[in-house]
Structure 1
Amino acid sequence: MRKAQLEIACFNLESAIIAQDNGADRVEFCANMKEGGTTPDFELTQTVRNKVTIDLNIMIRPRGGDFVYSDAEFDQMKSEILSFKKLQVNGFVFGILNEDGCINVQQNTELVALANPLPCTFHRAFDSVKNKFQALESLIECGFKTILTSGKESNAVDGIDVLATLVEKANDRIVIMPGGGLRSTNIKLLKEKTRAICYHSSAINDTGELANPEEIIALKTHLIFT
């Protein structure tokens, strides 16, 4: 079995450095934690890239709210991908739905192509899809490498059975990455039940926006030794 990987969602430079220094495999960098993450500031991302040598994925999301975007917002997403590629980042995180709750195959495919050769993760817009198994196949068709999901529940523990089924149905064609309320207190259960190979957490244990180094160490320890 492949070694499980840990991605830490970071909303500031300090958290990204904490993630790297305490064993995270990858940083997902974004802004606006209360909105669930949006595109980060370009100059700040450049600073993060200069300080962080582990993989750095960038959220591309023009605003909070739903995942149906106007033509202007879609153009903005395309422009941001092209700009951030120049910073030598390692991947992108985004997701676009149609108004009926299905995957917008055309727009997502276009963004994946723009990001190429960098891999793309479809974020928790997946938890708003109408048909999760149809969406799984659509995202494979679009060319995504990873799906970040809580199993269509408010947190990954409540969605654990769906997550396990998604991992099984994905059958190594795409990575299913559990996220949403994932902490050191429940990652062992999620790993045992889902058998996923990548996990996502902000590692924030209080009301702030700073990653907790002890929590990252504990998360990583559970992945290594369970």
Structure 2
Amino acid sequence: MRSVALEIAVQDAAGARIAFAAGADRVELCQALSATGGLTPSPGTVDAVSEAAGGGARVAVLVRPRPGGFVYDSEEVALVTSDIREVVRRGAGGVVVGAMALDGGVDMDAMRRWTDAADGAEVAFHRAIDVAADPVRVMDQLVELGAHRVLTSGGAVRSLDGFAVIASLIERSAGRVQVMPGGGVRVEDIARFVAAGADAVHLSARAASADVSPSGPGGGAAGFDVTDRAVVEAARAALDGALAGAA
């Protein structure tokens, strides 16, 4: 049977434990996901999630220094380089990064530095590809860089709406870079992505916490996101069903 990975975005060790118990193959670790789209987690969080995963091999860590666009100056590139080295030193199996040039293509110099810093750990290119002027050209650049996979919504808010672009990326990759749909993926979308040849699917599987502790101007909005076990379980079942049907 063909292998398609289920990746769940998590923000803490509790989320990682839930994701793996419910059938995830891998987690992407980040912080401030709903507010910013994800930022670099703390070293302590990397350690805690790696421990929850039984080791860092199934943990991909987002390394993104700030919210906003994906064009970085030299100081930011150096910071990400340092953070990548630290994440890999702590045992993470992969890093998730992305840098764009002003012309709408990949910042190849930044990505080469970051790939070198990963020192053999898997390198995934994140949804920076979704702002590219020509995503198919970006796929060629990722092949040149030796990237392991790319996370994409096909340039749409919801991945299913970017299905045609994702299918084109899968065709262009021809197995050289894994293509992983992500961004608004719902359980009912999974079978279609599997049929198109996706190598993995990515869900945030978020739910609002039941936190009722006081918050205020210095603490942001009340509550926070948690990983929803039921959503992960449903995604696992949908993925297994789609793979069985394709066998």
- Write the distance in 1 (CA, Å) between the matches of 2:73 and 2:110: 11
Q: Are 1:203 and 2:205 counterparts?
A: yes
AA of the residue aligned to 1:11: Q
Partner of 1:48: 49
- Write the distance in 1 (CA, Å) between the matches of 2:111 and 2:95: 12
| Contact 1:19/1:27 (8 A) holds in 2 | yes
Partner of 1:18: 18
Partner of 2:88: 85
Report matched runs for 1:67-86 at 5 Å. 67-86=70-89
- Sequence identity, in percent? 31
Report matched runs for 1:15-164 at 5 Å. 15-33=15-33, 34-53=35-54, 55-164=58-167
Q: Are 1:220 and 2:226 counterparts?
A: no
AA of the residue aligned to 2:99: I
- Write the distance in 2 (CA, Å) between the matches of 1:3 and 1:134: 26
Q: CA deviation at 1:168?
A: 1.1
| Contact 1:103/1:138 (8 A) holds in 2 | yes
> What is the CA RMSD across the aligned residues, in angstroms?
1.4
What TM-score, normalized to structure 2? 0.87
Stretch moving more, 200-209 or 2-11: 200-209
- Write the distance in 1 (CA, Å) between the matches of 2:185 and 2:13: 21
| Contact 2:60/2:92 (8 A) holds in 1 | yes
Q: CA deviation at 1:191?
A: 2.2
- Write the distance in 2 (CA, Å) between the matches of 1:75 and 1:117: 19
Higher CA-based Rg: 2
Q: CA deviation at 1:116?
A: 2.1
AA of the residue aligned to 1:121: A
| Contact 1:3/1:224 (8 A) holds in 2 | no
- Write the distance in 2 (CA, Å) between the matches of 1:45 and 1:86: 11
Q: CA deviation at 1:173?
A: 0.6
Q: Are 1:3 and 2:6 counterparts?
A: no
| Contact 2:188/2:238 (8 A) holds in 1 | no
- Write the distance in 1 (CA, Å) between the matches of 2:3 and 2:81: 33
Q: CA deviation at 1:174?
A: 0.5
Distance 1:128 1:109, change over 3 A: same
| Contact 1:109/1:143 (8 A) holds in 2 | no
Aligned pairs, number: 225
Structure 1: stretches of 5+ with no match in the other structure: none
- Write the distance in 2 (CA, Å) between the matches of 1:134 and 1:165: 11
Q: CA deviation at 1:41?
A: 0.8
- Write the distance in 1 (CA, Å) between the matches of 2:117 and 2:146: 11
- Partner SS state of residue 166, structure 1: helix
In the TM superposition, what whole-angstrom CA distance separates every residue of 1:65-98 from its partner, at most 9, and x where no partner exists?
0001121111110110111112111000000001
What TM-score, normalized to structure 1? 0.95
- Write the distance in 1 (CA, Å) between the matches of 2:226 and 2:155: 26
